[in-house]
Amino acid sequence: MRENGLNHLLSIGTIATSFFLFGSFLLLAQNFGSFLGSWEKKVQIILYLKDGVSETEVLRLQERLRDEEGIENIRYISKRDALEVFKEDLAGYGGVLDGLKEEFFPASLEMMVGSDFRTPEQIRALATRLNKTPQVEEAQYGGLWLERLSVVLYILKWGSWVLGAVLVMIIVSVTANTVRLTLYNKGEEIEILKLVGASETVVTVPFYLEGGLQGFLGATGSLVLLFFIFHIFSLKVSPFLSLYFGQLRLSFLPIELVAAILGVGMISGLLGGIVSVRKAWGT
């Protein structure tokens, strides 16, 4: 490897780039899943009540909703409360809001969804069922965007593994080609070794190790680069995103996954070395 440094450096760089792409997808899927999980805990269903619903009917409705599976922490918002909240949110507009009357705002019931009832399908079914309540004008919920984000997360997860499978084939091919060049350069030395009685194991194992070392170094380089970029992102970009999406708790790949990437890199490189030797010697 020292004698053919440029070829091996290019090979390791290609492997590192491949694993960097794979690791980036895994890291994105992991943190996106955590972000989605934290937002699932904040999902609310809001029931906007029809005009003319009496306080007695509201109390009865609240009692019935407390027995509904998946509903927690019911909060009643009167017309007056809705107006006050609206004015607080738009306090900067001053006197423009003075003419507003509470009759313009519907009363509503805000409900948190239970922890065991937060899948997009369950939330949609619950909101659809509550929308048929006689006192309810409209049921709104955050499940629509939750469903779309869940699809994105699903694509990210499966896309990561599909990409990983493709990259493993690329790594095997790249390593095999690099080892094959070494085999050609060392052709005379290999023949001399065989003439003096060296076994096949003695001759081939160094090439297998060469491939495995290339894969391991490439995977290591990709993880170092990925961690560096992740660290910069956490320090410089994450605080700005937190202003819009709330506190973001980003995390790097768990140690088990890091070990798995290193192992896959080494095994892929080893396979490349084996493929190269077998093809070169027709075995």
Round to whole Å and give the CA distance between 47 and 133: 9
pLDDT of residue 145: 65
**Which of 16, 2, 14 is closest to 182 using CA atoms?**
2
- Indicate the SS3 state at residue 78: coil
Residues 25 and 156 sit within 8 Å (Cβ to Cβ): yes
Helix, strand, coil % over all residues of the chain, rounded to 5: 70, 10, 20
Q: How high is the mean pLDDT of the chain? A: 77
Round to whole Å and give the CA distance between 177 and 257: 28
Round to whole Å and give the CA distance between 281 and 283: 6
The string of DSSP codes covering 113-181 is: EPTTS-SHHHHHHHHHHHTTSTTEEEEEETHHHHHHHHHHHHHHHHHHHHHHHHHHHHHHHHHHHHHHH
Query: What backbone torsions phi and psi does residue 160 show, to the nearest 5 degrees?
Result: -60, -45
Q: Is residue 38 very low, low, confident or very high in pLDDT (cuts 50, 70, 90)? A: low
Residue 251 scores a pLDDT above 60: yes
pLDDT of residue 72: 75
Geometric angle at alpha carbon 118, from 115 and 120, rounded to 5°: 175
pLDDT of residue 22: 84
Residue 245 scores a pLDDT above 90: no
Residue 224 scores a pLDDT above 90: yes
pLDDT of residue 77: 81
Beta-sheet strands, E only, within the chain? 44-49, 71-77, 108-113, 136-141
Q: Is residue 94 very low, low, confident or very high in pLDDT (cuts 50, 70, 90)? A: low
Q: Which of 15-24, 35-44, 104-113, 162-171 has the lowest mean pLDDT?
A: 35-44
pLDDT of residue 61: 83
Q: Which of 6-10, 218-222, 236-240 has the lowest mean pLDDT?
A: 236-240
Residue 273 scores a pLDDT above 70: yes
Domains in the chain, ordered, with CATH?
Answer: 5-38+147-281 (no CATH), 44-141 (3.30.70.3040)
Query: For residue range 154-209, what is the model confidence (pLDDT) as tens digits?
Result: 777 777 778 778 888 888 887 777 777 777 777 777 778 778 887 777 777 888 88
> Which of 236 and 111 is assigned the larger pLDDT?
111
Share of the chain above pLDDT 70, in %: 78
Q: Which residues pair with 138 in a beta bridge?
A: 48
Round to whole Å and give the CA distance between 268 and 258: 15
Residue 279 scores a pLDDT above 80: no
Residues 257 and 25 sit within 8 Å (Cβ to Cβ): no
Q: What is the largest CA-CA distance in the chain?
A: 102
Residues 47 and 139 sit within 8 Å (Cβ to Cβ): yes
Q: Is residue 29 very low, low, confident or very high in pLDDT (cuts 50, 70, 90)? A: confident
Range from 56-65, 91-100, 272-281 that averages highest in pLDDT:
56-65
pTM value is 0.62
